[in-house]
Chains A and B, each alone.
Chain A
Amino acid sequence: MTSKSADRIATGVFIVIAVIIVSILVGLFSYILVKGLTHISLDFLTSPSSNVRAGGGIRDQLFNSFYILVLTMIISVPLGLGGGIYMAEYAKPGKVTNTIRSCIEVLSSLPSIVIGMFGLLMFVNLTGWGYTILGGALALTVFNLPVLVRVSEDAIRSVPRELKEGSLALGITHWHTIKTILLPSAFPSILTGAILASGRVFGEAAALLFTAGLSTPRLNYLDWNPFSERSPLNIFRPAETLAVHIWSVNTQGLIPDIEEVSNGSAAVLVISVLLFNLLARWIGTRIHKRITATK
């Protein structure tokens, strides 16, 4: 075999690989959307799920998913931002910084089931709360924190040096420079990163199995008192999210319409994550245009 024909064969193989990957994605998406979209209806989205009968919806699961996501972001964004600012602005090269870097690395490579087990130990058993939304949100914070720290550190580091130096040269203190110069310029990238991270949190299930639980109490959506037991806003109630719901109906579900419910839920889940990605891109380019004044 001449080297020329070997080259041609290799090129063919690489093209085949690319085609395989694209077709996997196309196959997955068309399967999810074709199977799922037929089952999504207003009724499916707004009726409560059923444990034994067919025709249950995903109202509570959908609400729980968004509620846990919001709580997680409320807790993890300030922490991640603070950690990012520290790593970008205050950390001096040395042992302490290396330790923190290793910690971030360890946290980001932990399997989510291990984070779930830690959550079970810490936020369920040690605190005595049982399965709660708050416990789930805290476990997801552990899961989300390393991503946010990395995103904010990179965003702050990529602000042009001259901006920071100019501010410091005007006699402005370091912290005030961070607040008024660095954070506003880094804001678009941080926002994009945070939205992408939200998509990851939204689809996470393993960390929630043992922290937020597999059940939801009967909710009364007219009850807005966060301390009442049937209020959807109560953070000390168990909550099954959409991703967990797909898992639980498939592994231990008794309902006859498992296929339909999970097809519909999977489509809702994937579409939500897709929307998060599109939103992140859209906001990213929009703000980029506004700041750089390009068309």
Chain B
Amino acid sequence: MEKIMPAKDRLLKSGKNGLGNEMRGKVLVILCAVIMISVTISITIFLGTKGLQSFIKNGVSPIEFITSTKWNPTNKANPEYGAFPFIFGSFAVTFLSALVAAPLGIGAAIFMTEIAPSWGKKILQPVIELLVGIPSVVYGFIGLSVLVPFIRENIGGLGFSLLAGTIVLSIMILPTITSIATDAMSSLPKSLREGSYALGATRWQTIRKVLIPAGLPTLLTAVILGMARAFGEALAVQMVIGNVRDLPSSFLDASATLTTIITLNMGHTTYGSVENNTLWSMGLILLIMSFVFIILIRYFSSRRKMQ
């Protein structure tokens, strides 16, 4: 163990409290802040210009890109660049997994704060933290080796399906939703609960009519953060969803999302080719969507402040 020097000696001895040092320190930390801003700006600019190239340089029609369902970039005579199936797949898995994970996550939060505040939290809190810690490829791998065969044998289809992607993503975004929802519920003032109980309401009535409406903006923030994570998740989904270029017609059909197509094709398309550029356009959509999610979160937190 190192010897502890009294602060007075340490400060007197160091002799480094001159004004030059003061400036140097300030410049140093400002530099760090500037680096952060410039990284964000350069990501936006670089991905923006690269993502627009397929429309500007290669003449792919943006409307066709967003609405057409025909994706056939390797056809030499008549290549088609319709990314709608992938955009649809991304939104479908995002909404479906939010639909599954939101009730579970908010329910778990209510369990921890209202039903069993003492021991419920002690059990569920570490569980949630451990779920966060599992890397996404491991989720994907377990989905691939357990969930996909299970669906194939018991429900039908190939196994690689929208359903498998939804289940994997629901488990992945569950901890995000639960931890924020728990913060939301536990930060509600105690007087709300006491007032409701004093009026003779049961616990469920209190939760449903008082606590959930009061915490709603933050609960929605939690769900949106979960959706943002689901929308951008790549490898876990890619391993279970099947990656086909057609629009899925049921839950059990294989599908693809923007992220899975990027992961699969970025490596083996020539940098600068039209197909490669359309992948960058999909990346731009991901970037724009993460801005949209941030704006939504801002909107809800401003509503929370107004209350």
Contacts and interface: CB of A to CB of B under 8 A. Distances in A.
Nearest to B35: A79
A25 B131 contact: yes
A52 interface: no
B136 to A, nearest CB: 7
A209 B263 contact: yes
B37 interface: yes
Given A121-B50, A262-B141, 8 more contacts: A3-B202, A21-B104, A28-B142, A91-B33, A109-B293, A114-B286, A181-B7, A205-B137
Interface in B195-213: 202-205, 207-208
Contacts of A31: 142, 146
B25 A179 contact: yes
B267 A113 contact: no
Contacts of A117: 47, 262, 266, 280, 283
A247 B237 CA distance: 11
Contacts of B134: 28, 203, 270, 273
B21 A173 contact: yes
B135 to A, nearest CB: 3
Interface string B17-38: 1010110111011111101110
Contacts of A229: none
A104 B287 CA distance: 15
Given A31-B146, A120-B266, A243 B137 contact: yes
A73 interface: no
Given A120-B266, A206-B136, A206-B235, A17 B104 contact: yes
B29 A82 contact: yes
A200 B137 CA distance: 12
Closest 6 CB pairs of A and B: A111-B232, A203-B135, A82-B32, A175-B25, A17-B107, A10-B204
Contact of A18 (B47, B111, B174, B294): B111
Contacts of A4: 202
B287 A114 contact: yes
Contacts of B283: 113-114, 117
A13 B228 CA distance: 27
B104 A203 contact: no
A22 to B, nearest CB: 6
B186 interface: no
A153 B140 CA distance: 34
B115 A15 contact: yes
Interface in A178-196: 178-181
Nearest to A251: B239
A265 B207 CA distance: 44
B17 A172 contact: yes
Interface residues of B, number: 92
Contacts of A62: none
B22 A110 contact: no
B123 to A, nearest CB: 7
Contacts of B262: 113, 117
Interface string B271-296: 10000000010010011001101100
Nearest to A88: B29
A97 to B, nearest CB: 9
B294 A109 contact: yes
Contacts of B267: 209-210, 214
Contact of B108 (A18, A180, A209, A250): A18
Contacts of A247: 137, 140, 235, 239
Contacts of B11: 170, 172, 176, 180
A121 B19 contact: no
Contacts of B228: 109
A204 interface: yes
Interface in A183-231: 199-200, 202-206, 209-210, 214
B141 A266 contact: yes
Interface string A61-94: 0000000000000000011111101110111000
Contacts of B135: 202-205, 243, 269-270, 273
27 contacts: A6-B202, A11-B203, A14-B115, A15-B115, A80-B32, A81-B32, A82-B28, A85-B29, A100-B36, A103-B37, A107-B39, A111-B290, A113-B232, A113-B259, A113-B283, A114-B47, A145-B39, A172-B17, A175-B21, A175-B25, A179-B25, A199-B133, A203-B138, A206-B136, A209-B263, A250-B140, A251-B264
